[in-house]
Amino acid sequence: MSILIVDDTIFMRSTIKKYLEESDIGVVGEASNGVEAVEKYKELNPSVVTMDITMPHMGGVEAIKRIVEYDSDANIIVCSSMGQEDVVMNAIKAGAKTFIVKPFEKSRLLDEINRVINV
């Protein structure tokens, strides 16, 4: 299993990476905005993407749309502090498989990764 972590904050990328590495899950790359996310997805072909919503240059919803256009089977988990219902719905409509509201526990992240991989 390989994960691409997308978040504009170094702290959040580091936290997710730590959670995954402690669980022996491989992190193949990181991106700090939606533009990088789309490029790295095409380059790395990860099993799962953790995607923030609010980022500079290109937000998460637009990045999800572009990744899903490239790979309709993409497994994208939105990880965002924006828990409003319309944001969640836009991310799901764009192609995200599930949504986790920050801050979240390690177990919640791992549960969602396993759920999207085993669907």
For the chain, what are the domain ranges?
2-117
Work out the average pLDDT over 84-94.
88
Write down the residue that tokens 């990088």 correspond to. Answer: 36
Residue 85's pLDDT band, with cuts at 50, 70 and 90, is confident
Q: How far apart are CA 82 and CA 80, in angstroms?
A: 5
- Residue 92: CB atoms within 10 Å: 16
Residue 119's pLDDT band, with cuts at 50, 70 and 90, is low
Name the CATH code of domain 2-117 (choices 3.30.1330.10, 3.40.50.2300, 3.30.390.30, 3.40.50.970).
Answer: 3.40.50.2300
pLDDT for res 83: 65
Q: Bigger pLDDT: 81 or 90? A: 90
Nearest alpha carbon to residue 78 among 112, 39, 33: 112
Instruction: Share the mean pLDDT of the chain.
Output: 94
- Residue 24: CB atoms within 10 Å: 7
The pair of three-digit structure tokens given for residue 93, joined into one six-digit string:
């409509």
Work out the average pLDDT over 62-88.
91
Q: Which of 52-56, 65-69, 108-112 has the lowest mean pLDDT?
A: 52-56
Nearest alpha carbon to residue 68 among 36, 91, 43, 84: 91
